[in-house]
Amino acid sequence: MLLINISSIIDFCFNRKLSVFADAPHLIKLVRTHAVDEKGGLVLPRGDGTMALRSRQCFLELLEVTRRELSPCHKLTHFHVDASGQATQRVYLAAQLFSNSVGKAMKMLLPMRQLQSEAILTRGSQ
């Protein structure tokens, strides 16, 4: 879960407070962009001090497993992962990609992706 405390930030150069307002839809789109970038991903710390990568491959593996008619994450399509241009500005694509149902499906169907699924699942659903 992405936790950001941005009520006020101290600008150390001028020793004054700056007020910053989060644009939640923009933050969700940025996380999606980095998570599905072909040359990138999001690095997730593990409990043992090592790191895991949540990249587009995680979502492509889930799409491959859930291709059948009854899918636990029926809204997830290749468009969520492969969107480009103006389509990347659609907030609903990012919200659906990081939805609770996608996190639960990844946890259930991809046992080797437990850390990635836990990063998607929200604190309130656990």
What's the pLDDT tens digit per position in 26-64? 888 888 888 888 887 878 777 777 777 778 888 899 999
pLDDT in the model for residue 3: 42
pLDDT in the model for residue 53: 79
Listed residue (38, 56, 42) closest to 97, CA to CA: 56
Confidence of residue 16 (pLDDT cuts 50, 70, 90): low
Question: Is it the case that residue 91 has pLDDT exceeding 80?
Answer: yes
Does pTM surpass 0.85?
A: no
What are 76-79's contacts with CB under 8 Å, separation 24+?
A: 76/102, 76/105
Confidence of residue 79 (pLDDT cuts 50, 70, 90): very high
What angle, 0 to 180 degrees and rounded to 10, lies between the N-to-C axes of helices 100-109 and 56-65?
A: 70
Domain boundaries, the chain: 23-125
* Residues with Cβ within 8 Å of residue 60, at least 6 apart in sequence: 81
pLDDT in the model for residue 9: 45
Tokens of 118: 């836990």
Question: Is it the case that residue 126 has pLDDT exceeding 60?
Answer: no
Confirm if 72 and 66 have CB atoms less than 8 A apart. yes
